[in-house]
Chain A
Amino acid sequence: MHLVLERRAERSLLAALGSPLLAIALTLATMAILFALLGKNPVAALGVYFVEPLTDAYTLQEIAVKATPLVMIAVGLALCYVANVWNIGAEGQFIIGAVAGSWLAVRTQGTDAGAWVLPAMLLLGALGGALYAMIPAICRVRFGASEILVSLMLVYVADLLMDYLVRGPWRDPHGLNFPTTAEFDPVATVPALIEGSRLHAGAILALIVVLLASVLLGRMLAGFEIRVVGAAPKAAAFAGFDARRVVLFCFAVSGALAGLAGIIEVAGPIGHLQPGISPGYGFTAIIVAFLGRLNPLGVLVAGLFLALTVIGGEGAQIALKVPLDLTKVFQGILLFYVLACDSLIVHRIRFVAAPRRSAHEHA
Chain B
Amino acid sequence: MSMLEAITLSVIAASTPLLLAAAGELMVERSGVLNLGVEGMMILGAACGFAAAWFTGSTLVGALAGTLAGATLALVFALLTLGLAVNQVATGLALTILGVGLSGLIGAGFVGQRIEQAPALYLPVLTELPGVGRILFGQDAFVYSSVALLIGIRRFLYRSRAGLALRAIGDNPTSAHALGYPVLRVRLLATLFGGACAGLGGAYLSLAYTPFFVPGMTAGRGWIALALVVFASWRPLRLVAGAYLFGAVSILQLHAQGHGLGIPSQLMSSLPYLATVLVLVLISRTRGTAGSAAPASLGTAFVPDR
Contact = CB atoms under 8 A, between A and B. Distances in A.
A339 interface: yes
A7 B108 CA distance: 43
B302 to A, nearest CB: 10
Given A157-B270, A160-B267, A336-B94, A323 B284 contact: no
22 contacts: A86-B89, A143-B281, A143-B284, A144-B284, A145-B281, A145-B284, A146-B227, A146-B230, A149-B227, A150-B277, A150-B281, A164-B264, A287-B94, A290-B90, A325-B101, A326-B101, A327-B101, A328-B98, A331-B97, A340-B86, A343-B84, A347-B84
A154 B91 CA distance: 21
B266 A164 contact: yes
A51 B196 CA distance: 39
A168 interface: yes
B94 to A, nearest CB: 4
Interface of B: 36, 76, 80, 83-87, 89-91, 93-95, 97-105, 108, 215, 219-220, 223-224, 226-227, 230, 264, 266-267, 269-270, 273-274, 276-277, 280-281, 283-285, 287, 303, 306
A329 B101 contact: yes
A156 B271 CA distance: 10
A4 B273 contact: no
Nearest to A331: B97
B266 A286 contact: no
**Among B85, B87, B94, B264, which residue has the most Cβ atoms of chain A within 10 A?**
B94
Nearest to A157: B270
Given A329-B105, A336-B80, 20 more contacts: A7-B303, A86-B89, A139-B277, A139-B284, A145-B285, A148-B36, A149-B230, A152-B223, A153-B223, A156-B219, A160-B267, A164-B264, A325-B103, A328-B104, A335-B90, A336-B94, A339-B87, A342-B86, A343-B85, A349-B84
Task: State the majority secondary structure of interface residues on B.
Answer: helix
Interface in A320-348: 323-333, 335-336, 339-340, 342-344, 347
Q: Which 3 A-B pairs have the closest CB atoms?
A: A332-B98, A328-B101, A325-B104
B273 A5 contact: no
A153 B277 contact: yes
A14 B254 CA distance: 56
Contacts of A152: 220, 223
Contacts of A150: 277, 280-281
Indicate the size class of the contact surface on chain A.
Answer: 35 or more
A110 interface: no
Given A144-B287, A145-B280, A157-B270, A331 B101 contact: yes
Contact of B91 (A149, A160, A328, A339): A339
A349 B303 CA distance: 12
A344 B84 CA distance: 8
A134 interface: no
B273 A157 contact: yes
Contacts of A343: 80, 84-86
A90 to B, nearest CB: 12
Contacts of B306: 4, 355
Contacts of A194: none
B83 A3 contact: yes
A327 B90 CA distance: 19
B273 A139 contact: no
